[in-house]
């Protein structure tokens, strides 16, 4: 299988180490991975701001860039969910049938559901608390939404179970929003910051040293709270943990 690695623009610009870790991890798993050059934004910021038509050219560009790959895999649940759920309707209005939505996966979803490794060489001797981001939970099924009142399951927890020397925790409000929400953080900053503070404190209550999750955007929001309030916890993308030692 040929994998096209999708690195969202904010990861490329702010957290390139996450993209590097994603590439290393997929290569370690024996996959044929390529990083198509000239990637751009998937269009999520425009659509979230109410200008969905402005995302059309970006969606078409992404279609062309990844058309030869069997799978599109990216380390961002939010951006992957946008392509999967919104690109089809955006492209339909442009007279194009979306192909990427059928083959795109968040990297944790892809490793857990498609690759299914039974072991990893990763070692991370720290306490971590899992952050379940809204898009990952409710659009990609990375964990079970608490409102469904069914037995809880977490693909992130399953994958972290393959890491040596790690201690894994989860906050009391296991899938409560951190308050980022893209444009929500811009339009309602006071509420967004308050939600971010509450979420960080919930993670802190576990005794964890790190907050980890599948969305750098959520981690970035909480990291801002942590730095401003000088709180004793850090953030790290889950793919960096899974790729540790590679």
Domain residue ranges in the chain: 2-115, 127-242
Three-state DSSP at 118 gives coil
Q: Which pLDDT tens digits describe the chain residue by residue (246 residues)?
A: 899 999 999 899 999 999 999 999 999 999 999 999 989 899 998 988 888 888 999 999 999 999 999 999 999 999 999 999 999 999 999 999 999 999 999 999 999 999 999 999 999 999 999 999 999 999 999 999 999 989 999 999 999 999 999 999 999 999 999 999 888 878 889 999 999 999 999 999 999 999 999 999 999 999 999 999 999 999 999 999 999 989
DSSP string, 179-221: S-TTHHHHHSHHHHHHHHHHHHHHHHTTT-SEEEES-HHHHHH
Which CATH code for domain 127-242?
Answer: 3.40.50
Q: Where are the alpha helices (DSSP H) in the chain?
A: 9-14, 16-28, 44-48, 56-65, 77-92, 107-110, 134-138, 155-160, 183-187, 189-204, 216-229, 238-242
Task: Return the CATH architecture of domain 2-115.
Answer: 3-Layer(aba) Sandwich (3.40)
Rounded to two decimals, the pTM is 0.95
């Amino acid at each position: 299988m040929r994998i096209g690695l999708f690195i969202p623009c904010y990861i490329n610009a702010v957290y390139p180490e996450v993209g590097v870790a994603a590439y290393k991890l997929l290569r370690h798993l024996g996959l044929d991975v390529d990083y198509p050059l000239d990637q751009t934004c998937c269009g999520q910021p425009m659509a979230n701001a109410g200008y969905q038509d402005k995302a059309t050219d970006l969606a078409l560009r992404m279609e062309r860039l990844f058309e030869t790959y069997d799978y599109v895999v990216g380390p961002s649940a939010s951006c992957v969910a946008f392509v999967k759920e919104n690109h089809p309707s955006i492209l339909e209005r442009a007279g194009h049938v979306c192909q990427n939505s059928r083959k795109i996966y968040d990297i944790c979803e892809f490793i857990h559901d498609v690759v299914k490794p039974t072991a990893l060489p990763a070692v991370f001797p720290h306490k971590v608390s899992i952050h379940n981001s809204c898009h990952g939970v409710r659009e990609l099924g990375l964990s079970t939404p608490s409102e469904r009142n069914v037995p809880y399951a977490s693909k992130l927890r399953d994958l972290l179970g393959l890491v040596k020397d790690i201690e894994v925790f989860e906050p009391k409000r296991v899938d409560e929003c951190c308050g980022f929400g893209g444009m929500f953080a811009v339009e309602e900053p006071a509420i967004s910051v308050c939600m971010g503070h509450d979420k960080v404190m919930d993670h802190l209550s576990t005794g964890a040293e790190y907050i980890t999750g599948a969305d750098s955007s959520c981690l970035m929001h909480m990291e801002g709270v942590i730095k401003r309030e000088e709180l004793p916890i850090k953030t790290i993308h889950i793919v960096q943990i899974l790729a540790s030692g590679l």
